[in-house]
Amino acid sequence: MREQTVQIPAAGALLAGTLTQPDGDGRHPTALLINGSGPIDRDSAMPGMALGLGRALAMTLADHGYVLLRYDKRGVGASSGDYLSTGFHDESDDAAAALAALRAHPAVDPERVFVVGHSTGAVVAANLVRAAAPPAGYVLLAGAAQPGARVMAWQSDRIAATLPRPLRPFGPILVRRQARERDRVRRSTTDRHDRMPRSRLTDRWLREYMAHDPRPDLATIDRPMLAITGSKDIQVDPADVARIGRLVTGPFDGEVPSDLTHLLRRDPGPPGLWRYRSQLNRPIDGSVTQRIVAWARVRLAS
């Protein structure tokens, strides 16, 4: 396995990333990783949360002869630009720039480049069907099939319903408070809010995401797709896997693994946001990365 630091020219920024290659010369089938919301770096980490998907996926793919490109978001890590003025559509444009740059690399087979997106990164991945040269395949991990505002409302209801029993009476208060915050964001006209939440999602990003509907993108996709959302995901409705399957027109594989959470860990305990800290002490579930390799071998064979 070899790793190379790369720079990706994007509109108004230079994105920094890592290209992980298997041993051996020639052109290889390749994946582009798109992480979820927040100031996430190439290794799928941000302050307070180290998901670890980037490194885990790179090592698994390289072991099976695949290249992976992962990159720091605009204004994060070694990438230039200003994260706090970046919108959801900017992140989609940056992903398209990364896809184009990846295809031009001499180690990459441009006809076998697929995209792997996690959480809102899966929504961005589906939007790459609009790119000048769309990906050869799509892997959506915890990907939504509903408008962003509806996804966020579902999240609020589900998180409230899975609070520990002593806190359950506060659930309705949480739901109302988050509904008011979504209404405030819709009415806002600024890029950012003075009282930034810990996740550092700006008003602009939230406005654009809430208004975005991924269904037209999904309905346009006629390439192979793998959609995986865990049965214990409390941020994306697991039923969206079936909804995605009804929308796409290409070969589709959809799975809802038991006990898998939004963090791509298996947890036998009750679902809940309050269990995330302990889940992050464990690595990504290896069955997820192995499943991606097995899918790519079948669906993207030369």
Beta strands in 44-126 (DSSP E): 45-46, 49-50, 67-71, 108-118
SS3 10: strand
**Pairing assessment for the beta strands 49-50 and 2-10 based on DSSP bridges:** unpaired
What pTM value is reported for the model? 0.95
Read off the tokens for 178: 């988050």
Digits of tens for pLDDT over the chain (302 positions)? Answer: 899 999 999 999 999 999 999 998 889 999 999 999 999 999 999 988 999 999 999 999 999 999 999 999 999 999 999 999 899 999 999 999 999 999 999 999 999 999 999 999 999 999 999 999 999 999 999 999 999 999 999 999 999 999 888 888 888 898 999 999 999 999 988 776 555 554 578 999 999 999 999 999 999 999 999 999 999 999 999 999 999 999 999 999 999 999 999 999 999 999 999 899 999 999 999 999 999 999 999 999 86
Look at the block and give the residue holding tokens 């009476």.
169
Structural domains of the chain ordered from first start: 2-145+214-299 (3.40.50.1820)
Look at the block and give the residue holding tokens 């809802």.
256
